[in-house]
């Protein structure tokens, strides 16, 4: 299991509400709330969320492009 996914950042980056993501992923809103709070998530749930966001599983573990801090 993986915790502390930047799910909210990705959801907002993609312009989705929690309800939109729940509908696209088949994951309940209550689960999305828990994941966004930093609770652990099963690999199957992580895959479903990544697919609904149209990103890879690996991308779901990092911040969206416009939220990453770049070194100068």
HEC per residue, 18-61: HHHHHHHHCCCHHHHHHHHHCCCECHHHHHHHHHHHCCCCCHHH
Give 4-44 pLDDT, tens digit per residue: 689 999 999 999 999 999 999 999 999 999 999 999 889 99
Class of domain 7-62: mainly alpha
**pTM exceeds 0.95, yes or no:** no
Domain ranges of the chain: 7-62
């Amino acid at each position: 299991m993986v915790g502390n996914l930047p799910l909210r950042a990705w959801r907002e980056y993609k312009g989705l509400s929690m309800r939109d993501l729940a509908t696209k992923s088949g994951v309940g809103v209550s689960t999305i709330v828990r994941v966004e709070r930093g609770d652990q998530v099963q690999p199957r749930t992580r895959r479903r969320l990544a697919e609904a966001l149209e990103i890879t599983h690996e991308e779901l573990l990092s911040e969206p492009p416009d939220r990453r801090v770049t070194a100068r």
